[in-house]
Homo-oligomer: A and B are copies of this chain.
Amino acid sequence: MNADLLSALQAQRIETPSWGYGNSGTRFKTFAAAGAARTIWEKLDDAAEVQRLTGIAPGVAIHIPWDAVDDYGELKKYASERGLTIGAINPNVFQDEEYRLGSVTNPEEAVREQAIAHLLDCVEVMKQTGSRDLSLWFADGTNYAGQDDLRSRKRRMRTGLKRVHDALPSGTRMLVEYKLFEPAFYATDLFDWGASYSHCLAIGDKAQVLVDLGHHAQGVNIEQIVAFLLDEGRLGGFHFNARRYGDDDLIVGTSNPFELFCIYAELVYGANSADDLTKQTAQNVSYMIDQSHNIEPKVEAMLQSVLNCQESYAKALLIDRDLLQEAQSKGDVLAAHRVMMDAFKTDVRPLLTELRAEMGLKSEPIQAHRQSGYQEKVARERGTQTGGGGYPVKEKVRS
């Protein structure tokens, strides 16, 4: 195995989200999973299992207040003892009753202030956890034409983002996520990459765009957005998942693995760019999983997600860039396309087996997990917690 390839694969990082280890569901039903994590401590235990088996997923994104604790030093220590770090901080400005008509874009000033205060609180959490990224998703939007003034909402968004931006410590960033729809069904305030990008440009250098794979209209070419933002120096991170219809939040790479490969291809290419801005931007992209495992075992689903990213990345690393560029420059359409396809068609599982041997990992992580008895153990210890539909309610839970 090529040493550079090995080194690149060992250096890959995928952050898993704390909320991916707990019960989740659709608006119709949250099915109770045996052993689903009930607290941030249990979520970290689960994340440690994923890290133990993959070696490339030490970071854990947390959600405030779902994962709020009294002492973040203690949380960091708990994580560190398990080979983990606390990753992106994800504020919640969509579950207070006050946010019915929006958070930072709410027509009412007091609500906007409440939202901004929470965001600023999360900046404080970042300082305590040492997190680099504040990951911002807003449910803000409207359901009916005329419900609110679109330009005013845009301006409120900018004001809110700016205030948070300016409170960010040096060396940190805010990642501004966009989404076509849900839970807003007429107009979402941050409705596409262009909207997020425009705000980022206006508010400052610490603002970067976050791309969630499930948040686009049908047909939209995501790898092109990735390429565009890399070239503009404004791509900050990803929320990985898979979709066919809406924001389906399935395991990344399951519905269209070729798309995931094409996205990684741009990222690998950008990270090796001769252009400094593109290169630096690509090398600082945060890779985070954001999914809902409604019908499948949570830890195994997360393992599968990390492994799918690993396979896509490995394939992207195999693209013969010289051959590709030669074909592209000659306008040899099909030869160029075949260079991409050759990498995609390669079965990288033997390569990853070799990688795991070098990393001291079990060669078959899923099988190892199934044989470990971990799932049975947590099911026994944690039981099966039933709940309502959809997302967890906002109250923080502490064991």
Which among B27, B152, B230 is the interface contact of A27 at CB below 8 angstroms? B27
* Contact of A217 with B by CB under 8 A: yes
Whether B31 lies near A143 (C-beta < 8 A) is: no
* A166-207 Cβ-contact flags toward B at 8 Å (1 or 0): 000000000000001111011100011111011001000000
CB distance from A255 to the nearest CB of B (A): 7
Bound-state CA distance A108–B347 (Å) is: 35
With a cutoff of 8 Å between Cβ atoms, the chain B residues found around residue A270 in the complex are 151
* Contact of A145 with B by CB under 8 A: yes
With a cutoff of 8 Å between Cβ atoms, the chain B residues found around residue A28 in the complex are 94-95, 139, 182-183, 390-391
Bound-state CA distance A254–B345 (Å) is: 12
CB distance from A366 to the nearest CB of B (A): 7
Interface residues on chain A, number (Cβ under 8 Å): 114
Bound-state CA distance A269–B150 (Å) is: 11
Which among B97, B150, B183, B250 is the interface contact of A224 at CB below 8 angstroms? B150
* A223-265 Cβ-contact flags toward B at 8 Å (1 or 0): 1100110111000000000011110101100111111001001
Bound-state CA distance A333–B145 (Å) is: 9
Which of A68-76, A116-124, A293-301 contacts its partner?
A293-301
Which among B139, B186, B217, B256 is the interface contact of A218 at CB below 8 angstroms? B217
* Contact of A389 with B by CB under 8 A: yes
Copies of this polypeptide in the complex:
4
Whether B191 lies near A149 (C-beta < 8 A) is: no
Which among B230, B301, B334 is the interface contact of A334 at CB below 8 angstroms? B301
* A322-340 Cβ-contact flags toward B at 8 Å (1 or 0): 0011001111011011111
* Contact of A388 with B by CB under 8 A: yes
**Residue of B at shortest CB range from A224?**
B187
Q: Which residue numbers of A lie inside 8 Å of B, CB to CB?
A: 25-32, 94-95, 97, 99-101, 106-108, 139, 143-152, 154-155, 180-183, 185-187, 191-195, 197-198, 201, 216-221, 223-224, 227-228, 230-232, 243-246, 248, 250-251, 254-259, 262, 265-266, 269-270, 273, 278, 292, 294-297, 300-301, 304, 311, 324-325, 328-331, 333-334, 336-341, 344-347, 349, 366, 386-391, 393
**Extra A-B contacts (18), CB below 8 Å, given A150-B227, A180-B245, A187-B223:** A27-B27, A100-B295, A101-B295, A107-B328, A143-B250, A143-B295, A144-B336, A145-B265, A146-B337, A151-B230, A151-B231, A151-B278, A154-B228, A182-B246, A191-B221, A193-B194, A255-B258, A311-B345
Q: Give me 7 A-to-B residue pairs in the complex whose CB atoms sit less than 8 angstroms apart, sorted by A's number.
A: A101-B331, A144-B296, A149-B328, A181-B246, A193-B194, A194-B197, A218-B218
